[in-house]
Amino acid sequence: MQIESLKVFCDLAETESFTKAAQINSVTQSAVSQQISSLERQFKSLLIERSKKKFRLTREGQVLYDYSKQIIQTYDSLHSKLQEIKDIISGTIRVATIYSIGLHDLPPYIKRFLKEYPTVHVHVEYRRSNQVYEDVLGNVVDLGLVAYPAKDAKLDIVPLRKDPLVLICHPQHPFAKLKAVKLKSIAGQKFIGFEPDIPTRRALDKIFKDHGVDVRNVMEFDNIETVKRAVEIDAGISIVPQGTITQEIAKQTLAAVQIDDADFFRPLAVIYKKSKVLSPAMRQFIALLKEGGAKDSH
């Protein structure tokens, strides 16, 4: 029996999906089935109830899962400690990030990190916010990058920085001539927003409600790039992270206006599973992101 088989079994138990367990371990679904069958032969026990539509571990399967998690964590800790002693920073870091962070904040950090640690492979996936949490909790990725981090007993949250939010509009819009606007002045304006389940949308809805401001939501999108394109054709105004509009401001396809009567920012954070043993490479990567946040906040 190998550690890899126990890990595949744990990933299957946590994701309840042969497809996801195969994806996490870079093997085929057939290989996952074979490893589970091999464990069942070895322990002479049925580990998963296959007759029902819903995935369920047997009592023996639950016991194997509980002990296997301890074995894997101990093995990961051992591997991490040995790398630390030898001062080795290598391996793979799997990151899931929301679009706005992945497209605009992350690239310079990745570039710097890979220059310092060329033997580390950083694999980045762009996901919706809820999918980032699912991927982290399901062990599909090691680290998640999110805005407005949601507390969860199974997660550790590392705050990074506060990202300023600004109003954006078409360069010919009346607001474009102003340096700053009061939040009340956007009442009744056509507004391009994020979809209701996006954390930035929920935060903006709360701010509008607290200030008694009603906007006309004319379009809703699930990512920052589409929101910007809609504002560029003058379909409405929007409020977005300042760091996501650098290129558009330089090309003068958008105008940015400060909002001067509200604490407008969105907190960014790294999330990872509490049971995750962070490798030296992962710890260095988080440290670099935190360091950047400290610089940006000054």
Could you tell me the pTM of the whole model? 0.77
| In a shared domain, residues 178 and 151 | no
Region 140-167 average pLDDT = 94
Q: Which amino acid is at 218?
A: V
- For 179-212, what is each residue's pLDDT tens digit? 999 999 999 999 999 999 999 999 999 999 988 9
Looking at 42, 65, 84, which one is the last position of a domain? 84
CATH of the domain at 143: 3.40.190.10
| In a shared domain, residues 8 and 139 | no
Assess contact for 288 and 113: CB atoms under 8 A: yes
| In a shared domain, residues 261 and 175 | yes
| Segments forming the whole domain that contains residue 226 | 162-265
| In a shared domain, residues 92 and 155 | yes
| In a shared domain, residues 244 and 293 | no
| CA dist list (Å): 138 to 23, 158, 224 | 11, 19, 26
| In a shared domain, residues 154 and 195 | no
- For 205-249, what is each residue's pLDDT tens digit? 999 998 899 999 999 998 899 999 999 999 999 999 999 999 999
The reported pLDDT for the residue numbered 293 is: 52
- For 98-124, what is each residue's pLDDT tens digit? 999 999 999 999 999 999 999 999 999
Spatial distance between the Cα atoms of 22 and 253, rounded to a whole number of angstroms: 44
| In a shared domain, residues 145 and 276 | yes
Q: Which long-range contacts (CB under 8 A, 24 or more apart) does 3-6 make?
A: 3/71, 3/72, 3/75, 4/35, 5/35, 5/38, 5/39, 6/39, 6/64, 6/68, 6/71, 6/72
| In a shared domain, residues 130 and 275 | yes
Looking at 60, 84, 108, which one is the last position of a domain? 84
Looking at 84, 107, 141, which one is the last position of a domain? 84
Spatial distance between the Cα atoms of 27 and 255, rounded to a whole number of angstroms: 48
The reported pLDDT for the residue numbered 298 is: 38
The reported pLDDT for the residue numbered 16 is: 86
CATH of the domain at 168: 3.40.190.290
| In a shared domain, residues 250 and 277 | no
| In a shared domain, residues 49 and 172 | no
In the chain, the number of structural domains is 3
Percent above pLDDT 70 for the chain: 95
Mean pLDDT in the chain? 90
| In a shared domain, residues 36 and 157 | no
| In a shared domain, residues 7 and 51 | yes
